[in-house]
Structure 1
Amino acid sequence: TIAAGVSNQLGGLNCVQTDYNNDGLLDVFIVRGAWLTPSLAMRPSLLKNNGDMTFSDVTEQAGLADPLNSISATWADFDRDGWLDVFVCSEQQSNRLYRNKHDGTFENVAVGAGVAGGEGMVCKGATWIDIENDGWPDLFLNHLSRVGAQLWRNNRDGTFENVSRAMGIDGPQMGFSCWAWDFNNDGWQDIFATNYSRNIGACVQSMIGHEHAEAKSCLYLNQEGKRFVNVTKDAGLEGVFITMGSNFADFDNDGWLDFYLGTGDPNLGTLVPNRMFRNLSGKRFVDITASSGTGNLQKGHGVACGDWDRNGSIDLFIEMGGAVNGDKYHNILFQNPGNQNSWTSLKLIGKSSSVVAIGAKIKIHTDDPDLPYVYRIVTSGSSFGANPLEQTIGLGKATKILGIEIQWPTPAEIQDSLKTEKIDGPIPLGKPLRIQEGQGLLTQ
């Protein structure tokens, strides 16, 4: 930490990787100030990767030093110019949408874009999502206030339109973390938004199968870009979770995305189990906390899912412990023992798109009749935690990959829709692969 030049980066509540200057090196963006009063707002930090195992704080010169009460930020190329921009949630101030100016600096365009919100709206979670598969990143916001969740459609002209009601988004009313994913493998991005209830009694009732009146988290199924349907009950996710940190991944490599919830609140006595849920073929989720050995009563904050030991199975890292004295706990790394299911790992390298290919869409064709296609999107995952951009993808019982299709987030001046690149198989399983825009598979 000292040698890397980041030992003075204190007070961070969330961090996410990016490549703000398109040099192919992963930079780090840190947000701060959540839960504090406006007078104690804190500036974020943008740490530039120098390419020599060190980082430089370039926040001031980048124009990102506005003090905020923030816990979440999310990167995407919202204006389709080939450079990554960042949306920063704020609890007490207006939100920030920083447009990348291609010269190492940013400008806040949130007001003109219509997504600034207002003071005290308590924006806790944000995630980019392509609602209609048109290649333009839209924005989902989760608020810890009666404002409720919001869905903003990208108008392709630098502005956004609130389409929450028209698209069927009506909750949660007191939200926290959120993410966009394709949980049913149909090629359309869905939404999971957690509700932040602090009612321990309702949490216990829901865990033992009793009815409760507490507000619920929301799982929204994308109806081919026309509307979202709330399928929380059908999916078995009506419980009360008191979620803070969270993230998703395919923990058993069956081709279907699972997820993990870190729980708790600042109150010392709010000790409720962190939870892991397995996806049953895109139809329901089942709680596998006990059988997976990942349960813990301590407060779960940032959650990251990645193949730490490079064996093809997704491991789990959780930042643990509460904010008050006596509520501390060490962080936890859960090593996944893996299984016999097939997998591949894809690192995408953009050319006209941003180099790290955030927003690129992956479609894998397998020879497994029960899992003919698997879909993934290059993102960091949840709004409270960050997964690697390299995608480790479970492929179930497949014995070979018949083909891979990549939709690159190409600049709009080159092509309005996403540029599609097809790579024919057979492609071997069980090894990391690199795909560069326009050049296909680089290593097998």
Structure 2
Amino acid sequence: MLLFLTDNVKAETLLFTSLIVLSCTGTPSVAETALRFTDQTQQAGIHFKHTNGASEEKYLPETMGAGGLFFDYNNDGHLDIYLVNSGTLSPASEFHRHPNDMNVLYRNKGDGRFIDATVEAGLQQNHGYGMGCLAADYDNDGDADLYLTNFGRNQLYRNNGDGTFTDVTSHAGVGDGKWSVSASFGDFNLDGHLDLYVANYLDYQLETAHACFLEGVHIYCGPHEYPGARDTLYRNNGDGTFTDVTTRAGVRNAGKGLGVLFTDYNNDGYPDIFVANDAVPDFLYQNNKDGTFTDVATPAGVAYNSEGRATASMGIAAGDYDNDGVQDLFVTNFSLEINSLFHNDNDGFYTMTTFEAGLADASFSKLGFGTQFIDADNNGSLELFVANGHVWDNVSEVTPSLSYRQQCQIFGNTGTGQFTDLFETAGRFFKRSVVARGVAIGDYNNDGAADILVTCCGEPPILLRNDSQVHNYVKIRLVGTESNRDSIGAKVWIRTDEMTLFREVTCGGSYASGSERTLLFGIGAQKTIQSIEVKWQSGHTQTLDFSNTEGPVNETIYITENQSSVLQKD
């Protein structure tokens, strides 16, 4: 059955207007941009400050955290927020967090405000120095479970379905124990159970950490000072436990992973794995369809930048920015490098198009972390958000032209393969400098416009409400039956009279953070859609034909795998 939930369309009067022009090919282009975001952190009741424990010793983990998450943990239809904290590091004693340094779960009250629900949800015990978080229904019971990455042992919390969680890390066997930053869920063997890939960073021990200096200035060490840590691939056994299949699957390369995402880059129906590595070549593990992978990053064109150099890759965004029906990749890098936009040529190869897309100069002085594609105005073209902040708190002493706190960026999509920096008009936040790390995208107030959560190192997060003049949309939530219940890996096409839009359901990417998995399709001025097509990981394809009806515009649709297309509106 398909359940239609009607969302309230935004009725606010906005300051900016927009003109959307449809070319003869049906590709939307932005003639005049109307993006606007407003910081609602305090008004929404988010009273949180990340503690990194910055010390004179400059332990490297202090400058690398932390992430955040949009997810609906209690299935009430409103996105909740989870924020990761870190604490203080000391080699002299076993790590313990102060009670004020715990991670926080904020429950959405449904009126634009949040309330701290950490204790009532049973999430007050955090055992490591926090890095990232991710949510997915690993046990297919209908609610979102929570995975935390740490400098130290990771944690898996099973959602009990009653608003509480239980720590099942030991039983599930996914504690890892390395320095983990990001993770991604995906069903690599198509058995209907979500597997887990954990990106691990460096083999770093506080007891043996050493000081680093550049031009006489004591700085946080770079990744070249320490060996990389091997990532971990866990296969879901379907009984609440996981098995480490890293060696068996052929993903034993010792990189220096910071970002990771399951995504089907070659459209063969099997999820592949892209890993963003810091200062060593990135990985693109192609799924061999037999439980093993082969790293094809170099021949595919994503291991290095266009100059043949490994970059300090941090975060990952995946999306079809030029509406040609395949997922492209965007990777954030270190300052005095440029970020990498990899166009998927749909033949197993990528082309780096950062310069052609107008993204090179804007990123040269920035140090990027989290990033996501977002259709901020629902015109059918994906904009690009980048969170920036340096890792050296004294970088200006080394390079006066650089700063520790930096401005985040949002780039408008022209619809011609190019982007434009919108910092002058997108809102006050984009003129403010922060030490940003994670990025999550989600419509927390259910108004049909995608909002943004930005997490920071040693600073409060920022909740950006999308106040843009948005156009029509269709939101789609998939429920798998043969496929994993979260439908991660499923592909969806929406067709209107003027455009065809493509999305893939993913879980991970960005940096140490997780976004809403309900798919938001902006369809511009279109008031009807022709069809929705879903290709499930099970191999089934469902097509909903709306050619003789108005179709579900400005509504949220639930599509259940293999069930008849009976429509019911609430």
TM-score range (shorter-chain normalised) is 0.7 to 0.9
- Cα RMSD between the aligned structures? 1.6
Counterparts of 1:30-429 in structure 2, within 5 Å, are 30-33=148-151, 42-92=152-202, 93-118=229-254, 121-145=255-279, 147-172=280-305, 173=310, 174-197=312-335, 214-238=336-360, 239-240=363-364, 241-269=366-394, 270-281=404-415, 283-293=417-427, 294-295=429-430, 296-320=432-456, 322=457, 328-367=458-497, 369=498, 372-380=499-507, 382-384=509-511, 385-410=513-538, 418-425=539-546, 426=549, 427-429=551-553
What is the letter of the counterpart of residue 313 of structure 1?
A
1:73/1:88 contact within 8 Å kept = yes
Q: Distance in 1 between matches of 2:470 and 2:198?
A: 40
What is the letter of the counterpart of residue 150 of structure 1?
F
Deviation at 1:77, TM superposition (A): 0.2
1:256/1:282 contact within 8 Å kept = no
Q: Distance in 1 between matches of 2:201 and 2:459?
A: 26
Q: Which segment drifts farther, 133-142 or 267-276?
A: 267-276
Q: Distance in 2 between matches of 1:155 and 1:127?
A: 17
2:506/2:517 contact within 8 Å kept = yes
1:435/1:442 contact within 8 Å kept = no
The structure with higher relative contact order (CA 8 Å, sep 6+) is 2
Deviation at 1:282, TM superposition (A): 5.2
Q: Distance in 1 between matches of 2:568 and 2:413?
A: 31
Cα gap change, 1:102/1:366 in structure 2, threshold over 3 Å: closer, same or farther?
same
Helix, strand or coil for the counterpart of 1:134? coil
Cα gap change, 1:162/1:2 in structure 2, threshold over 3 Å: closer, same or farther?
same
1:248/1:382 contact within 8 Å kept = no
Q: Distance in 1 between matches of 2:271 and 2:440?
A: 23
Q: Distance in 2 between matches of 1:381 and 1:58?
A: 21
Equivalent pairs counted in the alignment come to 401
2:262/2:507 contact within 8 Å kept = no
Helix, strand or coil for the counterpart of 1:153? strand
Q: Which segment drifts farther, 336-345 or 387-396?
A: 336-345
Q: Distance in 1 between matches of 2:187 and 2:158?
A: 18
Deviation at 1:28, TM superposition (A): 0.9
Helix, strand or coil for the counterpart of 1:166? helix
Cα gap change, 1:289/1:380 in structure 2, threshold over 3 Å: closer, same or farther?
farther
Cross-structure match for 1:437? 561
What is the letter of the counterpart of residue 153 of structure 1?
Q
Deviation at 1:159, TM superposition (A): 0.9
- What's the CA shift string for 1:291-311, capped at 9, x where partnerless? 111313111122111111101
Q: Distance in 1 between matches of 2:193 and 2:168?
A: 17
Work out the percentage of aligned pairs sharing the same amino acid. Answer: 33
TM-score by length of 1: 0.87
Deviation at 1:381, TM superposition (A): 5.4
Q: Which runs of 5+ in 2 are unaligned?
A: 1-117, 203-228, 395-403
What is the letter of the counterpart of residue 169 of structure 1?
V
Q: Distance in 1 between matches of 2:323 and 2:411?
A: 17
**Greater Rg over alpha carbons, structure:** 2
Cross-structure match for 1:25? 143
Cross-structure match for 1:15? 133
Q: Which segment drifts farther, 243-252 or 16-25?
A: 243-252
Q: Distance in 2 between matches of 1:282 and 1:49?
A: 44
Q: Distance in 2 between matches of 1:180 and 1:315?
A: 17
Helix, strand or coil for the counterpart of 2:425? helix
Deviation at 1:180, TM superposition (A): 2.2
Q: Distance in 2 between matches of 1:280 and 1:182?
A: 14
Q: Distance in 2 between matches of 1:71 and 1:195?
A: 16
TM-score by length of 2: 0.68
1:435/1:441 contact within 8 Å kept = no
Helix, strand or coil for the counterpart of 2:466? coil
Helix, strand or coil for the counterpart of 2:248? helix
What is the letter of the counterpart of residue 377 of structure 1?
E
Deviation at 1:441, TM superposition (A): 5.6
Cα gap change, 1:332/1:383 in structure 2, threshold over 3 Å: closer, same or farther?
closer
Deviation at 1:66, TM superposition (A): 2.2
Q: Distance in 2 between matches of 1:47 and 1:443?
A: 34
What is the letter of the counterpart of residue 331 of structure 1?
P
Q: Distance in 2 between matches of 1:340 and 1:162?
A: 41
Q: Which segment drifts farther, 333-342 or 43-52?
A: 333-342
Helix, strand or coil for the counterpart of 2:299? coil
Q: Distance in 2 between matches of 1:70 and 1:187?
A: 33
Q: Which segment drifts farther, 78-87 or 4-13?
A: 4-13
Cα gap change, 1:377/1:266 in structure 2, threshold over 3 Å: closer, same or farther?
same
Q: Distance in 2 between matches of 1:374 and 1:85?
A: 28
1:44/1:64 contact within 8 Å kept = yes
Q: Distance in 2 between matches of 1:266 and 1:167?
A: 30
Helix, strand or coil for the counterpart of 1:111? helix
1:317/1:334 contact within 8 Å kept = yes
2:272/2:285 contact within 8 Å kept = yes
Q: Distance in 2 between matches of 1:127 and 1:156?
A: 18
Q: Distance in 2 between matches of 1:298 and 1:257?
A: 24
What is the letter of the counterpart of residue 524 of structure 2?
G
Q: Which runs of 5+ in 1 are unaligned?
A: 34-41, 198-213, 323-327, 411-417
Deviation at 1:442, TM superposition (A): 4.9
Q: Distance in 2 between matches of 1:375 and 1:156?
A: 24
Q: Distance in 1 between matches of 2:333 and 2:470?
A: 35
2:195/2:234 contact within 8 Å kept = yes
Cα gap change, 1:341/1:45 in structure 2, threshold over 3 Å: closer, same or farther?
same
Cα gap change, 1:381/1:72 in structure 2, threshold over 3 Å: closer, same or farther?
closer
1:434/1:441 contact within 8 Å kept = no
